Amino acid sequence: MRENAMKAGVVARYGSIEVGEVEKPKPTEEQVLVRVRASSLNALDWYGFTGRPYFARALSGFRRPRSSAIGADFAGVVESVGDAVDDFAPGDEVYGCVTGSLAEYVVTGKAIALKPANVSFEEASTVPVAGFTALQGLRDHGSVQPGQRVLVNGAAGGVGTYTVQIAKALGAEVHAVCSTGNVEQSRELGADRVFDYTREDFTRSGVRYDVIFDNAGSRSWRSMCRVLAPKGIVVLVGGSRRKRLLGPLGHVARVKLASLLSRRRAAFFISKPTRDDLAALRDLIESGRVKPVIERRYELAQLGEALHQMDDGHARAKIVVTVPSPADNARTHRAAEVAVSRAGSSTR
């Protein structure tokens, strides 16, 4: 591999990804260069990989993606810093959010913070995007207060597992909606009541909720209003990936329009990566109130397989991609050469 190159996930066309050789990034005077140890997958990565929903191609590119970079979450070790950086130093263990994180190196100067000390790089890499979504959705848009009742519709997967825990940390009574296989997980994460949606309809429970965190997009505004408090709010986050044209946006639009005729409210947002919220999430993790949950682990070379694991939209928790160091790759390459050489010698 060239001296100034690195391995990274590259989406040259929709539905196809390879781990190829790209230029290693160089930090500006205000940036930090991080050697990535682990990254994790989010719905946004799957959308970028598949080019769905098709409506989004107006921004991402109609025939092929305008940007081949993929990934957002990262955890790793600072390798070097720009001259104007005084809050990080080489050797610091950090985590954060930046486009193109499914690579050996990233540079960033914004959404980066010291990694929670009590978790691994793999665990830390699951936090940023899912954690931002859960924290900002509950705190900023749902305005969750101690003693309120919160329902998380879609309590599994990356966002769901963090939402259950953060809602509890904010002092709420938390009810979770998930499939049969995730009921026990939701209980272990702190849910006070769990609805198995294959057996029970939460909209017929008679319970009233101050906040419904809609991560599944599986119920209409009318049905959710049956259990939404008079001044309650539905925080719209996700939805079905099966709608190829609009994806979850169709559900979001229908709920938002219907809510305009009601005293109850519906809010849709896109999370914003910030250092302050990375610090807030670190505090929650180090205090033991929130813990990362990993479903599966892959290596960077298995990136295509990892992305296809997300096809059905029913991840149990986070999918992590570990990133071997260039030195590890070199050792593996040399070992393979030696093995081939020995095999050749044995046949002569």
Domains of the chain by residue range: 5-127+292-332, 130-268
Q: What is the pLDDT of residues 99-112, one digit of tens each?
A: 999 999 999 999 99
Q: What is the pLDDT of residues 64-107, one digit of tens each?
A: 777 788 999 999 999 999 999 999 999 999 999 999 999 999 99
What pLDDT is recorded for position 333?
44
Angle between helices 275-286 and 128-136 (to 10 degrees): 90
Strand 209-214 versus strand 228-236 pairing type: parallel
Domains 5-127+292-332 and 130-268 equal at CATH topology level: no
Dig out the tokens for 226 from the structure: 């049956």
What pLDDT is recorded for position 312?
75
**Cβ 285 vs Cβ 119: under 8 Å:** yes
pLDDT band at 331 (very low <50, low <70, confident <90, very high): very low
CB atoms near residue 15 (< 10 Å): 12
pTM across the whole model = 0.90
Whole-number Å distance between alpha carbons of 313 and 293: 17
Indicate the DSSP class of residue 139. Answer: I
- What CATH superfamily is the domain 130-268? NAD(P)-binding Rossmann-like Domain (3.40.50.720)
Higher local confidence (pLDDT), 64 or 280: 280
Whole-number Å distance between alpha carbons of 224 and 203: 6
Query: Using alpha carbons only, what angle is made at residue 183 by residues 151 and 171, rounded to the nearest 5 degrees?
Result: 40
Q: What mean pLDDT comes out for the span 110-130?
A: 98
Strands (E), the chain: 5-13, 16-23, 32-40, 73-81, 93-97, 105-108, 112-114, 149-153, 173-178, 193-196, 209-214, 228-236, 265-268, 294-299, 318-322
Query: Which CA distances in Å does 286 have to 116, 132, 236, 279, 283?
Result: 6, 16, 28, 10, 5
**CATH number at 5-127+292-332:** 3.90.180.10
Q: Is the peptide bond before 53 cis (omega within 30 degrees of 0)?
A: yes
Instruction: Report how far apart the first and last C-alpha atoms of the chain are (Å, whole number).
Output: 31
Task: List strands edge to edge, sheet with 173-178.
Answer: 193-196, 173-178, 149-153, 209-214, 228-236, 265-268
